Structure 1
Amino acid sequence: MECLQMRECGASRLALDDEIEALTQQLEEIRFYRENDKGKWRADDLPDNELGISAFLEEVTTSLGVLGDLRLAQSFANAVESDAQAIKAITEEEIQAEEDRRLAMRYSVDDTQPESDSEADGIAGDYSIFQRLCLSVYNWFMDGNGAETEIDDGGPSMTYAQRQEEAMRRLSEVETCCACYDLFPLHNIQRLNCAALYCHDCLRSIFATATTDESLFPPKCCGEPIPLCLVQGKMSQHELDEFRNAEVEFSTSNRTYCSNTDCQRFVSPRNIQADRARCPYCDLDTCVLCKSAYHDKDDCAADTALQATLELVKRMRWQRCYACGAVVELTIGCYHMK
């Protein structure tokens, strides 16, 4: 299914939004079809088209659920990464207040405290505040908004402490970027189809370099092109626009660049009409034939078809309109024209 292919390409926010929008439109089309369908049949004898629609509806609904969960997980990861310092400061205050409260309660009672606290408190105390914050986010998502669930994998259930240790082990795992050789947590590492591992900054750098160097376009690793969906969610809008413009430029055979020496930007084919190319950056018109400034009413020396026509006009003693340049053939009268 398309949603599974998108998940393999990476958790790109833009790609996920586009995919969810497309599936939502498909879902609306199915509902519209069923609301306007006049067919009647027995419940135990559905026609083939209804069976196909039902199967497709189930697939679309399942795909929307998977993509929704993936976008939610991505939001958690982005929040932890971007707001970690602010959340850490708030969490430190809350933990300090909780520890002060426990200490006050410990001295306010005569009975001695148990020799050890719960397993969860013992494990959480061994980790940094930031790790515990990541752990709480991980557990919130894995356990269904904080609800404790037992993992049934055919063997004995994992205790809360064991789940905490397993979650912390995953959060503490790191991988080495094959470009800069630095260590990064898994949520900052992207695995390509060739199994190479890149940090987000190095992957963005590869695409930025390919944008300005045609010999490196499209970006590749191990001879295999790197899908844009793996990195577009990590690129700024300016970087993404520049890459897409380069993609159009490098795939155009007869390219036209702005004749303005202070600009010289590539003019996309969508900005070309006939032999006039208008630069979207400086609004200067360029002739697509000779690549110089547009001639307006003057003839272009590089227009071979026009030059051949002018030779024919000369041999046939035709004339050209002084206002629009159109060729006029004399059929009646003398050659003395005004």
Structure 2
Amino acid sequence: MTSEDDFDISILKFQLEDIQEKQFKGKWNEKNPPDFFVALEKFESDIKNILQSIEDAKIAQSIARAVDLDAALIGEFTTEERQARHDHEIALQLRDGIQDISPEPTSPEKDVEIFSDVASSSLTNSSSSYARQADILERLYLRRHECIICTSLLKQGANISVGCPKGHVFCEGCVRNLFLLSISNEDLYPPKCCEKPIPFSLVSEHFTSCESKKFSEAKIEYSTQNRVYCFRSECGRFIPRKESDNDQAECIHCYNKTCIHCKKAAHEGDCPADEALHKLVALADRNQWVRCFQCRSIIDRNQGCNHMR
């Protein structure tokens, strides 16, 4: 605001005080006020509207100047956002073998140009400056609601926040694809934004109960060490640890049993792939321990005859 603008504001406020003082003078019927009182009310309303418009313009220009001063910093921030999005798109290309799926990114220079436009519009005195400034500020607002994957501009309420440190948001389609793809591809699990895992609880409302169940099953599978899968090639399903009984794991889909050591069909006797058992047997031999003929457990006889039943 210039000194002339400040002077105009002072004049308007003085006129407003004068009008309000005159309104208190005189007595008349409230339902039938004199014409001059009606005119004063109209004049008062006009002055208040003008003052409000000036205040709004001051706020908009203040924002514009701040953007101009921080243009370099904002440009750097948007460049980091673009790089994160580009890295994710490359990962999708490598996974699916799809070529050129990424939209052409906006250049950093164009980002700074947008921010500079705001400042230049705030420094003009033409009657169109406010309209131009409003248009630019709207563009900046929409950029803060841009899907980090597909770059679609999202309406208020349509953006999905995932707790990203940088405040990135997703559209529903992209967040669904991100989680559904991670179910069948462990390389994409867990879904992340800026290297931070996205809690499923933040996006669960966008998935069906069946999809939520599949994601929970994938979470159990990917967090299990030394996993066991059904030995049958026609099945090959993951067998949760709770389904294991000693050295065998029963598939909950086809009900066949798999050896947890060699990962082949369940079999009787010791498994050659059970390294821990081989070490234990070697230790038993050195200490002259023997194995029970019934349950095959290793025991140390400290009394009785040499015959075991």
TM-score of the two chains, using structure 1 as the length reference: 0.41
Larger radius of gyration: 2
TM-score of the two chains, using structure 2 as the length reference: 0.44
